[in-house]
Structure 1
């Protein structure tokens, strides 16, 4: 959990403003949910490994004896917890307010979440998530809207050239079934497959054998991974998808993925579709039931966000299935890439005044500049004027003026 100095906070808010503006332009509406949810809701088996990282809140009024009696059962000690993502709170929100929302609800959530991570570079215990979700639309239009809004937001932040890796959990399940992996083994098999880009086909096959996976299934999967592939370029579409899957992929799944690409291409107005089908894209959230999405950019080797379809989650709270799909931009990663983005265009002025300038004159100068649209800070002149101005520049100020008693006009000079 981190503090942010003024310049860092300004940069973060500038990036957040762009994200909000782009999301709203695409028809999404912002909501807000509490930072805490009920313990049972956060630990309902929907958050995968994130549930293990949740910060739980001790029940009020427990005495030492009650704590000792329940020490082996966290559920008896806690009734609330800090949210570890924004998807579980959204599902609860929709179940609570469905009657007040449109049939197809497009939501924005931009807020901090908390996980008891082991702190390291790029991993924090408190971080901001920027989520957009569409609830109530089972068609490929929903995924296309999310992809277009996300890519447009990336462009608006000066990170054009982004693309989205895409897969479908149903295609993964079908593929594993075709190879012969039993349903009970799927969670462990998927964990290993997710390492394919790190340890390669041989490493994946070896780890699957170490896990005790069915040998015939491992052999079939390994043969598929190392099969000869014709070196030809196929843009995103049915041919690319079918070539990446074993023969006989279900038409319904392929058509859904193709439809997303066609809609994105139409929206982006380009023949080159910024989607890449990856049959081994897993993502760790156990609640995904269909499409899986992951945001990539050529400037970095890691993902900048991701999401997917989670049609089964809201039904856990509502008692009936409701289609839902969401996408989350990795704000903490994005903000570092746009750290040098230009300021928001508003003049930010430091008035460096002598000690004898009357307060009334200072306030009058400041008020006039504010009225003209500037942001203004008053600073008493010090012997080390250079250090004062350097600090102001680091805080995002763009100009300064020296103020003496009785001065009518101020000469604004740029802060280099």
Structure 2
């Protein structure tokens, strides 16, 4: 018996109706982003192996798919595999996000781009994930980035545009959690963690939602017991503030609220920046979207340098979007730092939360032809309808017309007309609604 032929594990096929709904949602996102002055670009799905493994992608570098070098001989393959030297096997890889390709794109085309470049990228990326709901090996990201703007205006634009995109999709009750890497590093230094341990400590703090404050402190003890106890005391003070509204996201983005959960003098530049961000966003977000300070927000990508943010939604167990400032990343390609900040919507998680209406489009009609209809006449009728702006499908008459009509209706066609031999003029067609 033939075995079912399924797509590769962690990847999916989309039937026409699913594809139409996804494109409808992507069209909404694109429209909002373009209205905010962003321009869409496209980059290759592959990048150089060395670029994808430059130490900036965090754990995602470990999840990247590599592409074997062309013409590699079996004995060289075996030797490299035995030595564990992946770079001897691969020279390219599938992109694991859209930020690394964007920075390479900007470095390549800087002379052709404006001093402050606002980009849209909506495209698939690939990671060797352990497949589960909301986590796939191929998935779409919808990114906007601003390169060349060092001031707070970039964060304000990104958060405003993204929040309006989420609202336009009908996704209510979103909370944008905000932090600053300067606050995180300042907090670690205040608690006594040595600078060389900060990245390792942040990896542990990023597990807070999985292992809880007690688990975080116990793991941090392996780095520095005394420092772990001090940061445990800070976390104990943060938790009630986060839960002040009962949702775990309750710290307003004001100087008083931010300073109220941090030790005195910690990262005053980061605190001032977030307070100014909160003031700039006051009254500028659509209904159903709020912004809050979360000092426990880390984000795992190693390239963030300042503001970081994530979108939380009660219907999802994971964030449905995120981003931050990555001022040092473009400089890896140019030899000089260029300010940059980006925000990505996790499209697969967002679309799972939406009850999208059926996409609207041109009037869709089906022509059902008798077996003896001359193809030239049928095509003339179709061409005339297409020129009038209709979407047209040709079908052959079947014995079981009930099944055929049901399938046509399910595919989004609203009207049908029978075509008999000799018909070649639109005036001869009699359309009827499929719902009749």
Q: Secondary structure at the match of 1:167?
A: strand
Counterpart of 1:43?
A: 53
Q: Secondary structure at the match of 1:224?
A: helix
Counterpart of 2:297?
A: 281
The answer (yes or no) to whether the contact 2:325–2:341 under 8 Å persists in 1 is yes
Distance in 2, Cα, partners of 1:4 & 1:62: 35
Question: Which moves more between the two structures, 117-126 or 231-240?
Answer: 231-240
Whether 1:94 and 2:120 are equivalent positions in the alignment is no
Counterpart of 1:187?
A: 199
Counterpart of 2:175?
A: 163
> Which residue, 257, 260, 263 being the options, matches 1:243?
260
The answer (yes or no) to whether the contact 2:125–2:138 under 8 Å persists in 1 is yes
Distance in 2, Cα, partners of 1:11 & 1:88: 29
TM-score, normalised by the number of residues in structure 1: 0.92
The answer (yes or no) to whether the contact 1:113–1:126 under 8 Å persists in 2 is yes
The answer for unaligned runs of 5 or more in structure 1 is none
Q: Kindly tell me: are residues 248 and 305 of structure 1, through their superposed partners in 2, closer, same or farther at Cα, counting changes over 3 Å? A: same
- C-alpha displacement of 1:15: 1.5
> Which residue, 396, 404, 409 being the options, matches 1:393?
409
Q: Kindly tell me: are residues 389 and 336 of structure 1, through their superposed partners in 2, closer, same or farther at Cα, counting changes over 3 Å? A: farther
Distance in 2, Cα, partners of 1:127 & 1:23: 20
The answer (yes or no) to whether the contact 1:58–1:80 under 8 Å persists in 2 is yes
Whether 1:207 and 2:219 are equivalent positions in the alignment is yes
Counterpart of 1:354?
A: 370
Distance in 2, Cα, partners of 1:115 & 1:389: 41
The C-alpha deviation readout for 1:5-49, integer Å capped at 9, x for no partner, is: 211221222212111111111111111111111111111111111
Q: Kindly tell me: are residues 412 and 246 of structure 1, through their superposed partners in 2, closer, same or farther at Cα, counting changes over 3 Å? A: farther
The answer for unaligned runs of 5 or more in structure 2 is 1-10
Counterpart of 2:284?
A: 267
The answer (yes or no) to whether the contact 2:48–2:91 under 8 Å persists in 1 is yes
Question: Which moves more between the two structures, 105-114 or 232-241?
Answer: 232-241
Whether 1:131 and 2:143 are equivalent positions in the alignment is yes
- C-alpha displacement of 1:266: 5.0
Q: Secondary structure at the match of 1:207?
A: helix
Distance in 1, Cα, partners of 2:86 & 2:211: 37
Q: Secondary structure at the match of 2:143?
A: strand
Q: Kindly tell me: are residues 235 and 384 of structure 1, through their superposed partners in 2, closer, same or farther at Cα, counting changes over 3 Å? A: same
Counterpart of 1:111?
A: 123
Distance in 2, Cα, partners of 1:397 & 1:182: 65
- C-alpha displacement of 1:171: 0.5
Q: Secondary structure at the match of 1:9?
A: helix
The number of residues matched between the two structures is 413
Q: Kindly tell me: are residues 234 and 166 of structure 1, through their superposed partners in 2, closer, same or farther at Cα, counting changes over 3 Å? A: closer
- C-alpha displacement of 1:280: 0.3
Counterpart of 1:412?
A: 432
Distance in 2, Cα, partners of 1:47 & 1:401: 56
> Which residue, 381, 390, 395 being the options, matches 1:365?
381
Counterpart of 2:395?
A: 379
Counterpart of 1:28?
A: 38
The answer (yes or no) to whether the contact 1:400–1:415 under 8 Å persists in 2 is no
- C-alpha displacement of 1:281: 0.5
The answer (yes or no) to whether the contact 1:370–1:376 under 8 Å persists in 2 is yes
- C-alpha displacement of 1:196: 2.0
Q: Secondary structure at the match of 1:188?
A: helix
Whether 1:226 and 2:236 are equivalent positions in the alignment is yes
- C-alpha displacement of 1:200: 2.6
> Which residue, 295, 312, 315 being the options, matches 2:311?
295
Distance in 1, Cα, partners of 2:91 & 2:66: 8
Q: Secondary structure at the match of 1:343?
A: coil
Q: Kindly tell me: are residues 406 and 99 of structure 1, through their superposed partners in 2, closer, same or farther at Cα, counting changes over 3 Å? A: same
- C-alpha displacement of 1:145: 0.5
Counterpart of 1:325?
A: 341
Q: Kindly tell me: are residues 412 and 259 of structure 1, through their superposed partners in 2, closer, same or farther at Cα, counting changes over 3 Å? A: farther
Q: Kindly tell me: are residues 377 and 269 of structure 1, through their superposed partners in 2, closer, same or farther at Cα, counting changes over 3 Å? A: closer
> Which residue, 9, 12, 19 being the options, matches 1:9?
19
Counterpart of 2:73?
A: 63
The answer (yes or no) to whether the contact 2:179–2:297 under 8 Å persists in 1 is yes
CA RMSD of aligned residues (A): 2.4
Whether 1:337 and 2:353 are equivalent positions in the alignment is yes
Distance in 2, Cα, partners of 1:365 & 1:78: 54
The answer (yes or no) to whether the contact 1:127–1:332 under 8 Å persists in 2 is yes
Distance in 2, Cα, partners of 1:136 & 1:303: 27
